[in-house]
Amino acid sequence: MSDPEPCIRVHHAEPLEGEVLVPGAKNSVLKLMAASLLADGTFELTNVPGIADVGIMAELLRAIGVTVTQTPEYGVVQIENRGDLTPVAPLDLVDRIRASINVLGPLLTRCGEVTIAMPGGDDFGARPIDMHIAGLQAMGAHFEFDGGTVIARAGRLRGAEITFDFPSVGATENILTAAVLAEGWTVIHNAAREPEIIDLCEFLNEMGARVNGAGTSTLRIEGVPPGALHGCEHVTVPDRIQAATYIAACAVTRGRLDLLNAQSRHMAMVLSRFGDMGMEIEALPYGLRVAAPNRLRSADVATLPYPGIATDYKPLIITMLTVADGVGVVTENLYPGRFAYVEELQRLGADIKTDGHHALIRGVDRLVGTD
């Protein structure tokens, strides 16, 4: 007799109370791991989340020629780069996480060439890498396309002035990591400003790079000579999306939580919106204290590039609004689609209607269990 299909069973309980530790951000640590391709030496990343994507990125780096040792119980990843790199990212690994595209900039600037399949990962709709390619072309790279494979070549990249049409996180990361070993100055206008971008800038500077303007829309990078970068130790920035997930769980159960390691300065806009919905939020020296003593109030929310409300918060906000008092509208301004979970919330008894980039949520008293 075959084993039953794996599942998680959730039973209604009392309001959530207690404390929980917020680990390092997935959206940072994967990019830090890719950036280790830039330099020979030993890197130690701490506060690393124990998630499958870290293991997949480790496999990808090993395939390229780097030694990776994981100690998940302590949140540590050690990377040893001896410079014997094969600048090819295998399709079977690239297709499993979209962060695999982050090896493009480091391998191109370090090795002068890279072959990589178009990345997989979450289904957010079309996510072209046109801005990555245009920026690297401005720095002297040449691209060929063979089906779903991208082949990039360059001598030493040259600094350039690059302006993005949109503050793309991925494009900012790839141009940034390519620029640290390019000749001369690179200036990125309309750069992404997320905390994870700041974390990457700090990591690169700890390696010996010269990056200025982290956290602003203009990044200025002075390229250093090949071989000038080195290994380092780095603590991964806490995961603001995971922190918000715990806050949403607290909100829908009318609970009270202490979020250890949560950084309120990275979540200012969404915390303000949670406050508008009736949550009590207090910044503490060691994190955040949140409580939802009463039923939430409905609100209208729109996603925007950082420091606006991230699209990753949207499923959490919609879930909170399903049990709030009143009617709220959530507008997606960044990516098409991304409402696939709404049908599942409707199965739980939520009253949600979607129309293009908008979701209208009429709060109900409570949700009900289902498969």
Tokens of 268: 């200012």
Q: Which residue has the tokens 């049908």?
A: 343
Task: Enumerate the H helices of 233-353 as residue ranges.
Answer: 240-253, 268-276, 314-322, 342-347
From residue 47, give the alpha-carbon distance in Å to each of 24, 261, 265, 306, 361: 5, 10, 19, 23, 36
Q: How many residues does the chain have?
A: 371
**Active site positions, annotated:** 122
Q: Which residue has the tokens 């079309």?
A: 126
From residue 194, give the alpha-carbon distance in Å to each of 77, 185, 228, 239, 369: 23, 22, 27, 12, 36
Q: How far apart are CA 219 and CA 195, in angstroms?
A: 14
Q: How far apart are CA 218 and CA 205, in angstroms?
A: 16
Helix (H, G, I), strand (E, B) or coil at 19: strand
